[in-house]
Structure 1
Amino acid sequence: MKKSNPIHQTLTLVKKDLTLELRQQYAFYGVLLYIVSTVFVINLMMGRPDDKVWNALFWVIQLFVAVNAIAKSFMQESRGRLLYFYSLVHPRCFIAAKLIYNVILMTLMSLIALICSIAFLGNPIVNALYFIGMVLLGGISLSLLFTMLAAIAAQANHNAALMAVMGFPLIMPVLMLLANISLSAFVMVYQPGLPKMFLLLGGMDILVIALTMILFPFLWKD
């Protein structure tokens, strides 16, 4: 792998993570169980909420799904395995593979969360295609941010509490932005500020990717 180009190294690492996920399906089913049980409990407690409450609950579920699904991507890597990868691949290839893998995983989990929410909490969505696009975009944004946080926490002796502490002030603007943008899927009225909010969300995603690619090689050396 060391003699191959960066793209091949990255794709090989993504394939490795996907293969491990298929073999160790307990993690996937654990997150799936969390989604179904959470939505079911909300249904028992609240029934079918109105539009704004439904939207808020969905993104809160997405937040905790991202924490549970993405934190394990680094927590499952032992020190010995990280040292082995350090001798084989460039750190940017390693973190790029984690970003791609977590985007794929979070995209799948986001769609499952949407299906479960509609099944148990009703379907108040007016513009379905718009909301599905927002769910996918939101899943990507959450996966990018939590991948960066998980990478930092992994270098601090796999301290999951550190990821939660650092993640709270960073994730709140993203979560509020996603909730505000997705509200347009519940009404037929066009909101004039939507293009700016989309640009802001896209800019934040690009910034997270850039920071991750710049900072991770320094963390990798430690």
Structure 2
Amino acid sequence: MQIIQSFKVLVLNKYVISLIKKDLLLELRQQYTLYGIFLYVASTIFVIYITMGQPEEQVWNSMFWVVQLFVAVNAVAKSFLQESRGRMLYFYSIAGARDFVLSKIIFNGLLMMVMTILSIGLFALLLGNPVYNMWQFMGLAMLGGLGLSFIFTFLAAIAAKAQQQAALMAVMGFPIIVPQLLLLGKISKIAFSPVLFQGMLSMVGLLLAFDVLIIALALILFPFLWKD
């Protein structure tokens, strides 16, 4: 209970809220980046539709998570990579390390949720809707999208301090993201069948624990990068 209360105080910090507003204003002013992500999602799904038509449910599920992975890379990973050294020095003078990284995690999580809703809508429109329980699948997709955004935000924070940023993210991200995708693919199959699966709650709990672990690691390790 005390941990939850501490996290709530940290999230409601005025610096965190101000930094989230800053990222939101930047996205609204630089609309070409946001529209570029929307176009990327729509064009990718349209290409899948042209080449595959309306695939069976297993292929549908697999392609959805592949698209989500690349959407996360393009939409979320740029959060730290676009910050110049001058901006970082300015943020260093007005906010703390945990406030800064937490604002990035929250903003990227919200952005990824929007992209997830857009992806589900386009998949259902173009590739058909083999999902038996759409609300259940949407909840799992939201949870999975948040997990992907947390991972790539954390990796982007580390890679921003390196010279070969894109290559470092690929090397670090592969062993972390593969187990996450395997778990997401297995859990999301539940929404394609009317039969209840045993162990669903334990798998969802494992996914939640993984997300919490990523946030905790970011809050613990990022202050050391912040001082560099």
Short-chain TM bin: over 0.9
Matches within 5 A, 1:130-209: 130-157=136-163, 159-209=165-215
Correspondence for 1:33: 39
The code of the aligned residue for 2:206 comes to L
- Per the TM alignment, residue 220 of structure 1 is displaced from its structure 2 partner at its CA by 0.7
Q: Out of 114, 117, 132, which is 1:111 matched to?
A: 117
- Per the TM alignment, residue 199 of structure 1 is displaced from its structure 2 partner at its CA by 1.1
Correspondence for 1:92: 98
What SS does the corresponding residue of 1:188 show, helix, strand or coil?
coil
Q: What TM-score do you get using the length of structure 2 for normalisation?
A: 0.93
Contact kept in structure 2, 1:153 and 1:162, CA below 8 Å: yes
Matched, 1:212 2:197: no
Question: Matched residues in 2 for 1:151 and 1:33: separation?
Answer: 26
Q: Out of 22, 28, 51, which is 1:22 matched to?
A: 28
Q: Structure 1: which 4+ aligned runs deviate by more than 3 Å?
A: none
Question: Matched residues in 2 for 1:87 and 1:129: separation?
Answer: 44
Contact kept in structure 2, 1:75 and 1:158, CA below 8 Å: no
Unaligned runs of 5+ in 1: none
- Per the TM alignment, residue 160 of structure 1 is displaced from its structure 2 partner at its CA by 1.5
Question: Matched residues in 1 for 2:96 and 2:166: separation?
Answer: 25
Q: Deviations over 1:120-164 (max 9, x none)?
A: 101101101101101111111111111000000111136121111
Question: Matched residues in 2 for 1:76 and 1:25: separation?
Answer: 15
- Per the TM alignment, residue 189 of structure 1 is displaced from its structure 2 partner at its CA by 0.8
The code of the aligned residue for 2:62 comes to A
Unaligned runs of 5+ in 2: 1-8
Q: Deviations over 1:63-118 (max 9, x none)?
A: 00000001111111001100111111100000000001000100001111111111
The code of the aligned residue for 2:32 comes to Y
Correspondence for 1:67: 73
Question: Matched residues in 1 for 2:158 and 2:109: separation?
Answer: 18
Contact kept in structure 2, 1:125 and 1:186, CA below 8 Å: yes
RMSD: 1.1
Q: Out of 103, 107, 121, which is 1:101 matched to?
A: 107
Q: What TM-score do you get using the length of structure 1 for normalisation?
A: 0.96
Matched, 1:126 2:153: no
Contact kept in structure 2, 1:125 and 1:131, CA below 8 Å: yes
- Per the TM alignment, residue 165 of structure 1 is displaced from its structure 2 partner at its CA by 1.2
